[in-house]
Each structure stands twice: as structure tokens, then as C-alpha cells.
Amino acid sequence: WKIALLPGDGVGPEVIAATKSVLQVIGDFYDHDFQFSEHLIGGAGIDAVENPLPQETIDACLASNGVLLGAVGGPKWDGQKLRPEQGLLGLRKAMGLYANLRPLQVSPVMAHRSPLKKEIVEGVDLIVFRELTGGVYFGDKGRNDDGSAYDVCSYSIEEIERVSRAAFKIAIQRRGKVTSVDKANVMETSRLWREVVTRIHAEEFPQVELKHALVDSMAMHLIQRPRDYDVILTENMFGDILSDEISVLGGSIGLLPSASLGSGGPGLFEPIHGSAPDIAGQDLANPVGTILSAAMLLRHGLGLEDEAASIEAAVAAVLAAGATTADLGGELGTRAAGEAIIDAIR
């Protein structure tokens, strides 16, 4: 198995290093030959070769069985022509990663850390399906002669169909409920979104319960009654906002993994948290989000269910025992937190 590692910026290199150690132990234990390679992305790419997404990185990712990313971005590159984020956005496009999955479960152990009341968040179990290669992210954009600026948001029928199918398929394996989020009372792309999702549902997945919600009222309901949701399906920008909103419900964004999948090719796996430049290089970052992303890589990317489950069980045990980094009130550094998980796997 070829696993491409993209440490990136800020705390990225530290969380990737801790996760690589976990994957090596899993490889030894289950007798898999994981071949790791490291590549430049984001600010690291800008600094080294003046390119946030070198061709070498794209080639290596496409030739891999799965890509594990740390984080990109930071104030260091603010206001410059080359932006670290271009590396990540370009890679999503180059790998055809049209669905970003962010699962969130709020366990009784973690519920008290939430900014929400325990009785509202305990037992939350949802997954966000964010469309990742369309919308305003990849539309035409620029400035006009009069100094005004524009961004075009566009969606094709096929783009909506494929991500809807992916979401409905996952819903069948879960509680069978999809909430599709749009702004159909204002946006034409949202009206198309609603039409296509409704048709795919009726034609191919009538057994799933489908509801539509407006993005503004969804931003409210996610705080008022997050337990009501199972699969949340939405377009790129709304998904960016809502999945970040959701990510704090569990009380620690440092724990959350994500997977970005296309059709057939390798997937990209990364923690939800950003590059956190303020704590970079200090052995303070929580590696759990990246380690759980590696578990998603093993499951979705390599089909190694037992191996993924063994990482997840180890993480749950370590968290329950309170062996955590400072963001969760513990005393471990990044490396030690990774080693605690390795001990639990062993």
C-alpha cells in the first residue's frame, strides 16, 4: 500500500509524524507493507519551490492508495499572490474529490466539554456530506474595470447527482435520514440543487427519508436540536460553514477527522482543525483528529476495516482514561499522546 503524507503548515508536520508512527505499528501488527512518502503542499510548497501544489505532489497523490494531509495556511502567507489554500483546493480538483465527509459523534465522555448543554448534545451522531469541487469555490472570479469584484457560483446536474447518490448510500447504512440544505428562496443553484436531490431520491432511494432545509434556519437548528440529524447533504460553501459550526458541538475540534472521496481514485484524509500557527512546533497539538483520519483512510481507502476499528478503539480507550493533550485538559504532548494510542493498540 502506498500512503502519501502531506504534512503542510503549522502543526501539520507534528500531527502527521505522530500519525505515521501509529500507522507503522498497525502495519507491523497486521503484517501490511505500508510505503510512506512525503510531499510538499500549501505554504511549505510556496517556501520551498514557490508552488503551493507542485506537480510532483499531484502525481504522487494520484499514484497512491490514500493521502493523509496535516494542515495548510497561516498568517505568514497572508496578502501574498500565492496562497497556501490554493494547494488544497487544487488538489481536491486534481484528485476529483467531490464529497467531503465529516462524521460527528458526541459520546457521554466528551459531552460535558461541549459549549452546548449536555442534554442537547449527548448522543449526537451525524455525518456531513459537503460537495467539494463545485460552487463558488471553482467558478469564475475577478475584478471589473470599476473596481467591483465578482464570484460565480455554478452547479451542473451531474455534480449534484453524484454527491447526492453518495449521501443517500451512506444514509441507508445509518438511520436512513437525509437533510439537504440549500437557499432555494434566493439562489438559482439552490433551486437546481433541490430539484436534482428530490429526483435522485424519488428515482433511486425512495426508502430514505428526505427533508429540505434552508441554510439560515439550519444554522439555528443545529444548535437547538443536533440529535435530529443523521446525514446532512449540502453544497460546497454552505458545507464549509455548517460543518465548522457542527465541529464545535462535541467540545473539541482537535478530535475530528474528515475524508474527501471521489469516484474510484484515492481519497484525501485530514483532521478538521487548521494549521494553528500559534502552537506550531511546540509539541502541543492534539494528534487525534489526524489519527482518526488515518483510520478513515484505512477503512474507506484501503478497505481495512479491522485495522481502522482497532485505531478507533484505542483512541476511545485513551480518551476515556484521560490521557490527552492540553486542549482536553490533559498533560500530554503531541508525541506522547500518539504513543499512548500506540500502547493501547498493542
CB of 243 to ligand IPM, least distance (A): 7
Instruction: Work out how close the CB of 187 gets to a copy of itself at its nearest, in angstroms, rounded to a whole number.
Output: 5
* Chosen residue from 29, 117, 169, 329 binding a copy of itself by CB under 8 A: 117
Straight-line distance from the first to the last Cα atom of the chain, in angstroms, rounded to the nearest whole number = 22
Specify the stretch interacting with a copy of itself by CB under 8 A; choose among 41-49, 52-60, 152-160, 277-285: 152-160
142 lies in the site for a copy of itself, by CB under 8 A: yes
Residue linked to cell 444548535: 223
326 carries a ligand binding annotation: no
Among 237, 291, 297, 318, indicate the residue that binds a copy of itself (CB under 8 A).
Answer: 237
- By beta-carbon proximity to ligand IPM, the closer residue of 34 and 193 is 193
Grid cell listed for 330: 490533559
Among ligand IPM, a copy of itself, none, partner that 148 touches (CB below 5 to 8 angstroms by kind): a copy of itself
Q: How far is CA 314 from the centre of its chain?
A: 21
What lies within 8 Å, CB to CB, of 245 at 6+ separation is 219, 222, 223
Report which residue's Cβ sits closest to ligand IPM.
85
Segment near a copy of itself (CB under 8 A); pick from 49-57, 187-195, 287-295, 298-306: 187-195
Which positions are annotated as active-site residues? 137, 183, 216, 240, 244
* Helix (H) or strand (E) run with residue 328 in it: none
Task: Name residues contacting a copy of itself, limited to 251-280 (CB under 8 A).
Answer: 253, 274
How many CA atoms, within 13 angstroms, populate the side-chain half-sphere of residue 24?
11
Query: Residue 264 touches which of a copy of itself, ligand IPM, none (CB < 5 to 8 A by kind)?
Result: none
145: annotated binding-site residue? Answer: no
| Angle between the N-to-C axes of helices 12-30 and 305-320, in degrees from 0 to 180, rounded to the nearest 10 | 120
Residues that bind ligand IPM (CB under 6 A): 73, 85, 88-89, 185-186, 216, 240
Q: Provide the phi-psi class of 67: left if phi over 0, else alpha when psi is between -120 and 50, else beta.
A: beta
Residue found under cell 509524524: 17
Distance between CA atoms of residues 156 and 7, nearest Å: 33
Interaction of residue 115 with a copy of itself, rule CB under 8 A: yes
Contact 216, 241 (CB under 8 A): no
Element (H, E) at 82: none
The 10 Å CB-count burial string (b at 16+, else e) for 278-303 is ebbeeebbbbbbbbbbbbbbbbbbbe
Residues at the binding site for Mg(2+) are 216, 240, 244
Interface ranges with a copy of itself (CB under 8 A): 73, 83, 85, 89, 115-117, 120, 136-137, 139, 141-143, 146-157, 183, 185-189, 191-192, 215-217, 219-220, 223-224, 237-238, 240-245, 247-249, 253, 274
